[in-house]
Amino acid sequence: MAKELVVYFSVYGSTKIVAKEIAEQTGADLAEIVPLVSYDSNRENYNALARLAKKEHDENQRPAIKNEINIDIYDCIYIGYPMWWYTFPMIIYTFFDKYDFSGKTIIPFNTHMGSGDGGTYETIKQLEVDAIVLKGLPIEMKEAENNAAQIVETWIKSL
């Protein structure tokens, strides 16, 4: 049986909710991508976070990851993130740069406020040409916070 891991990056907690739900429903292990320099999780400061995310994107930065995540023992890895500026946060690029996904199955999921997956699932296929990338789950932020269990269940059945 394939060993599964759910890895996620979440600032406001929406992606974390979905990640925990996936782990619970699949029996997968769970790991958080923790940035070396934390982001402000106060939603009242959204504009400041948006400016920082845009700066990181425009400068093609690779924010450092504080924790090590052992992906070697896993065959299937769910990877979750919020959408920032119509793509994934730059720390997700750091994650893909840091680890070798050759021969693994990647199943992306993301939370958003109207942008769907923003083409990020195709980006993952381009970044990880030696991995299999399955159908992802884009889930609107409010849906993630209020109805994740049913949405995740339906999605997992579709895989």
Per residue in 2-23, pLDDT (tens digit) is 799 999 999 999 999 999 999 9
CB 45 within 8 A of CB 73: no
CATH number of the 4-158 domain: 3.40.50.360
> pTM score, two decimals?
0.96
Q: What are phi and psi of 74, to 5 degrees?
A: -110, 140
Q: What are phi and psi of 12, to 5 degrees?
A: -90, -5
Per residue in 130-159, pLDDT (tens digit) is 999 999 999 999 999 999 999 999 999 999
